Amino acid sequence: MKGWIGQILRIDLSSKSHRIETFDERFATQWVGGRGFALKILWDELKPGTDPLGPDNKLIVALGPISGVAAPNTGKTVVAARSPLTGGYGDGNLGTYVTSHLRKAGYDVAIFEGACDRPSYVYIENDRVQYLPADEVWGKGTYDTLEWLYKRHGKGVGILTIGQAGENKCLFSIIRSLEGRAGGRPGIGAVMGSKKLKAIVVKGTKDIPLAAMDEFKKIGATDLKKVGALDKKTGWSRQSTTGVLAWCNEVAALPVRNMRKTRHPEAWRIDGQRVDEARVATYGCPNCTMRCGITVLDKEGHESELDYENVGMLGSNLEIFELAQMASLNWMCDEYGMDTISAGAVLGFYADAIDHGAIAGDFKFGDAERAKELLRMTALREGVGDLLADGTRIMAQKIGKGSEAYAMQCKGLEISAYNCKFIPGMALAFATSPIGAHHKEAWVITYEINQTPRDSYGREKAQKVVDLQRIRGGLFEFIVSCRFPWIELGWDLNNYTVYFNKATGLNWTLDDFWKVSDRIYALMKAFWAREYPDWDRSTDYPPKIWFDPANADTDGPIAGKILEMEKYEKLLDEYYDIRGYDSRGIPTKKTMRELGLEKEAAELEKFTRIE
Amino acid sequence: MRVFVKLIGPYIYQGGFSEKDMDFDAPVSAETLVAGLNLNADQPKIVLRNGHGIKLQDMIGDGDRVVIAPIYSGG
């Protein structure tokens, strides 16, 4: 077996012991890596009902066969666990030197189980694993922790760490690495914190085995240059992802005021042009030649690395249009280790609930200073921050008074920075995203606005969502590579078959990748259904407020328009039909059999009916 | 006739402006308008008229707000 190392490092934090396990080619080719490996391991090893914040949950760090090898853009790592925010399978990816170091240490996967008896970090150097005290940095933010670890182990190591939010089990805490890298939106940082695991530090010095080592190195190096040249030619990284803010404002898709509104006349103050003008540095992931981390100074003078999701959710969604103040909120999220999307959604929901008299409070849209204080309280679970730290779904359950309708989440995960009150296909993409509402799975807004009637609910939109889920939520998550060269620069997807085949010695086509994608999506759905046997299609609905005529825009391009439930139901039916799921959104036996999931279907049948 | 034109993303730097009013003697197609803006010809563009996507052959009229953007794919 080439490409894959074939080894899993299993670390028991309770007993401070580890062992190295192997996996075979069948496992490798069925699940490929990253999300695929993490999902299959969690499915096999977690008992249904496992407390996400208990020692029986497992934190998975997973890579793929091209991870860490110089090629576009292979510096990503997947982190996964049963999510404390959603209760389902949860994962995320982030750029980090852990990617190359873990592979060079000899592993495709690391599994962390049990829990430390005191704040600790784990240092992995090839076959050696050390369990070291982290009391000195427990209670400190991610920037201080990274510096502390760099001083101890040198700048060249790979590090994953959490901040105070993870320690205090804020349900939307993430894992951090490098300057502004973060991943694991569904509370994977809280899982790490529940294990009293402050950081994972990795150093590897071995070679990564590739089937065609010399060829891969040559192609990888050449293609990295080509991607860099494409970026220069198009000028994409001048504004990077922040460029889309102005466009969203034009097409009425911007999150404003907890997504009550879709546009704002002040939005230009935080758009891509203004972000670029304020730039003081640019950062990026390892193995990347189109670095997207535009960094500005925040109100307090910290370097704050921005992307569109940060600006949309912490800026326009909160009606905070002072760039430096919005950057402060972003820096605080990075420092405390909180997801910026959920943080913006939580604060927006809180302000909205106060506005509508559902809860008493003193936070108003546009109040940046109070937002900072609330973020601090959330990370530390102080006062009302204890409520905010649970995310919008639980907040709405506690607040009641109809607030569930405007808690902007699907399956418990807050919606990314695209307001879909009149974008049916993208609403479907959010609602069917298998980890909860996340733009990384599929993004169809340009297609809907430019290639189809915006108000159509035709099968072609469901097909487009499935197609993109296969690529974005499938291929890029299991091969573990950043999707940006493809989505932003048009880098040909066939390049990834070349990388994969040179690494593994196999002869796969894109169709082989899509089969793995479908297998992963089916098992993710099965994971949810096993946890929640009364699972039904309502879990694939977007928030009610998007269907409420009273919430329609009163002016602009979508004035008076809103999603229509009856039509959405038909669109969802089309989606299920294409995917081979039943009317509850659960894969049928036939579908699972075709995807090689007979054993998993039998397991699922112990918990719920499969058609 | 007068048209408000807004460029988004990298087109700001190619075109040399972010937004301005432009005067034309008569209605023009989106294609004609775009062709006069010094933008990279081989880079795909999305053209919006008053917030709605249009095709390059569609006409632009007096008072329209025209936005020209690259193809965004959602980060």
In sequence order, what are the residues at sequence separation of 6 or more whose Cβ sits closer than 8 angstroms to the Cβ of residue A432?
A441, A465, A469, A540, A572, A575, A585
Encode pLDDT of A399-426 as tens digits: 999 999 999 999 999 999 999 999 999 9
User: Quick one: closest CA in A to B75, which residue?
Assistant: A241
**Residue A39 pLDDT exceeds 90:** yes
Q: Pinpoint the alpha helices (H) of A532-610.
A: 565-579, 589-594, 598-605
Residue A393 burial (CB < 10 Å; 0-12/13-18/19+)?
buried
Find the mean pLDDT for residues A198-213: 96
**In the numeric block, which tokens belong to residue A149?**
């670890």
- pLDDT tier, A179 (very low <50, low <70, confident <90, very high otherwise): confident
Contact flag A244-B67 (C-beta cutoff 8 Å): no
Which of A233, A272, A443 faces B74 most closely, judged by CB atoms? A443
Inter-chain CB pairs, A–B, below 8 Å: 88
Q: With contacts defined as CB-CB under 8 Å, which chain A residues touch B12?
A: 273
Would an 8 Å CB–CB cutoff place A150 in contact with chain B? no
Chain B residue with the nearest C-alpha to that of A483: B75
The rounded distance, in Å, linking the Cα atoms of A129 and A603 is 35
| Contacts (Cβ under 8 Å, ≥6 apart) of A287 | A68, A69, A70, A71, A72, A73, A74, A75, A100, A224
H runs (alpha helix) in A505-551:
510-531
Residue ranges of A 355-394 with Cβ closer than 8 A to chain B:
none
Tens-digit pLDDT profile for residues A468-527: 999 999 999 999 999 999 999 999 999 999 999 999 999 999 999 999 999 999 999 999
Facing residue for A250 by CB, picked from B14, B67, B73: B67
Interface contact flag, A243 B40, Cβ < 8 Å: no
The pLDDT tens digits for A107-147 are 999 999 999 999 999 999 999 999 999 999 999 999 999 99
Q: Which two tokens stand for residue A303?
A: 């370097």
Contact B40 A233 (CB under 8 A): yes
Q: Check CB contact of A569 with chain B, cutoff 8 Å.
A: no
Answer yes or no: pTM beyond 0.90.
Answer: yes
Residue A192 CA to residue A174 CA, distance in Å, equals: 9
Q: Is the dihedral of CA A477, A187, A38, A604 positive or negative?
A: negative
Dist. CA A106–CA A205, nearest whole Å: 9
When pLDDT is averaged across residues A37-64 and rounded to a whole number, the result is 98
**pLDDT for residue B74 is more than 90:** no
Chain B residues near residue A488 by CB distance under 8 angstroms: 73
Question: What are the CA-CA distances from residue A51 to residues A47, A58, A131, A166 (Å)?
Answer: 9, 10, 24, 16
* Residue A210 Cα, gap to closest chain B Cα (Å): 30
- Where residue A214 falls among pLDDT bands split at 50, 70, 90? very high
Q: Do B52 and A557 touch (CB under 8 A)?
A: yes
* The dihedral formed by the CA atoms of A43, A525, A513 and A496, expressed in degrees to the nearest 10: -90
Instruction: Say which residue the tokens 């080592």 belong to.
Output: A213
B18·A439 Cβ contact <8 A: no
Q: Does A233 touch chain B (CB under 8 A)?
A: yes
Model pLDDT for residues A541-564, shown as the tens digit of each residue: 999 999 999 999 999 999 999 999
Q: Amino acid identity of A253?
A: A
Query: A272–B9: do the CB atoms touch at under 8 Å?
Result: yes
| Contact state of A273 with B69 under an 8 Å Cβ cutoff | no
Cross-chain Cβ contact B10/A239 below 8 Å: yes
| Both tokens assigned to A464 | 């487009």
First-to-last alpha carbon distance for chain A, in angstroms, is: 37
Query: How far off is chain B from A251, nearest CA to CA, in Å?
Result: 5
**Secondary-structure breakdown of chain A: helix, strand, coil percentages, each rounded to the nearest 5:** 45, 15, 40
Query: Which of A446, A455, A476 is the mutation pick for testing B, counting most B CBs within 10 A?
Result: A446
Higher per-residue pLDDT: A527 or B42: A527
Kindly indicate the confidence band of residue B75, based on its pLDDT and cuts at 50, 70 and 90: confident
Is residue A450 within 8 angstroms of chain B, CB to CB?
Answer: yes
Sign of CA dihedral A178, A180, A183, A185: positive
Q: Which residues of A touch B10 (CB under 8 A)?
A: 234-236, 238-239, 243
pLDDT band of residue B12 (cuts 50, 70, 90) is very high
Asked if the Cβ–Cβ distance from A246 to B8 is below 8 Å, we say yes
Taking CA B38 as the corner, what is the angle to CA B37 and CA B41, rounded to the nearest 5 degrees? 105
Which of A239, A487, A558 is the closest to B73 by Cβ?
Answer: A487
> Each residue of A445-462: pLDDT tens digit?
999 999 999 999 999 999
Sort A362 into a burial class: Cβ within 10 Å, 0-12 / 13-18 / 19+: exposed
Nearest CA in chain A to B12: A273
Q: What is the pLDDT of residue A495?
A: 98
ipTM above 0.90, yes or no: yes
pLDDT mean over A93-119 = 98
In the DSSP assignment, the letter for residue A261 is B
DSSP per residue over A191-223, as a string?
HHHHTTEEEEEEE--SPPP-TTHHHHHHHHHHH
A-chain residues near B43 (CB < 8 A)? 234
The answer for residues whose C-beta is within 8 angstroms of residue A35's C-beta and 6 or more apart is: A62, A78, A80, A91, A473, A477, A478, A480, A520
Average pLDDT (A159-167) is 98
Mean pLDDT over residues A606-611, rounded? 95
